[in-house]
Chain A
Amino acid sequence: GENVEQHPSTLSVQEGDSAVIKCTYSDSASNYFPWYKQELGKRPQLIIDIRSNVGEKKDQRIAVTLNKTAKHFSLHITETQPEDSAVYFCAPQRDSSYKLIFGSGTRLLVRP
């Protein structure tokens, strides 16, 4: 079956610093790569996604980079703020199934 791993499992940064979370997957047929953010006690919400024909995508302070050959993609957050504190999940997916396999999550803590 599909295997999805995230690293690190926890990450603590000072406000204003950058944070990078890496997701490694096993299914070579994956072609859609989203990142979800889940604040404490709330529902997961999509924050950024990328397709396999694009190597990088940026949206203000967040960006996602994809290395399909190595089967990993990363979430980059610059100029971190306390409200970025949450658990982040990657969930690589095949077009044909619309089925998300969530990673185990990365807990990000931004210290003021």
Chain B
Amino acid sequence: EAGVAQSPRYKIIEKRQSVAFWCNPISGHATLYWYQQILGQGPKLLIQFQNNGVVDDSQLPKDRFSAERLKGVDSTLKIQPAKLEDSAVYLCASSFGTVTYEQYFGPGTRLTVT
């Protein structure tokens, strides 16, 4: 079974620029998550989708971050404009969301804002 795919793997941008990350979950997984993991900390949930609807975006900085899940499959996370404190690894994860709770994580995108 193919895993969760993410791209790009690395991105370096200057502050105030914009950036977008892409995620393709495991086939059949209804639930998709975006996490932000700052160095030395645990992953922090940014947004959770169930199919193509948003379940939880309470920790998403909506003035600069946006996310969408196209047709309940792929998802993109955008930051505009980026700040220095956005430097982190952005992890996408997916799960069946019903029978089992295990979340499968993608390799992540390491973002550096200079």
Q: Which residues of A contact B (CB under 8 A)?
A: 32, 34, 42-46, 49, 89, 93, 95, 97-105
Residues of A within 8 A of B101 (CB): 32, 34, 49, 93, 95, 98
Closest Cβ of chain B: how far from A54's Cβ, in Å?
A: 14
Q: 9 tightest CB-CB pairs across the interface, nearest first?
A: A102-B42, A43-B105, A46-B102, A105-B42, A102-B43, A89-B42, A44-B105, A32-B101, A104-B42
- Say what secondary structure dominates the interface of chain A: loop
- B80 at the A interface (CB under 8 A): no
A98 contacts B42, C-beta separation under 8 Å = no
A45 contacts B105, C-beta separation under 8 Å = yes
Given contacts A32-B101, A93-B101, contact A43 B42 (CB under 8 A): no
Given contacts A89-B42, A105-B41, contact A99 B56 (CB under 8 A): yes
Inter-chain contact total with CB atoms closer than 8 Å:
47
B: number of interface residues (CB 8 Å): 21
A49 contacts B44, C-beta separation under 8 Å = no
Given contacts A43-B108, A102-B42, A102-B44, 17 further A-B contacts (CB under 8 A): A34-B101, A34-B102, A42-B107, A43-B106, A44-B43, A44-B91, A45-B105, A46-B103, A89-B42, A93-B101, A97-B55, A99-B48, A99-B55, A101-B45, A103-B42, A104-B42, A105-B40
Residues of A within 8 A of B55 (CB): 97-99
Sample of 19 A–B contacts (CB below 8 Å): A44-B43, A46-B103, A49-B102, A89-B42, A95-B101, A97-B56, A98-B31, A98-B55, A98-B95, A98-B97, A98-B101, A99-B55, A101-B45, A102-B44, A103-B42, A104-B41, A104-B42, A105-B40, A105-B42
Q: Given the complex of chains A and B, what is the CA–CA distance between A24 and B55 in angstroms?
A: 25
A43 contacts B102, C-beta separation under 8 Å = no
Q: Given the complex of chains A and B, what is the CA–CA distance between A95 and B101 in angstroms?
A: 8
Q: Given the complex of chains A and B, what is the CA–CA distance between A49 and B102 in angstroms?
A: 9
Q: Given the complex of chains A and B, what is the CA–CA distance between A43 and B91 in angstroms?
A: 8
Q: Given the complex of chains A and B, what is the CA–CA distance between A42 and B9 in angstroms?
A: 12
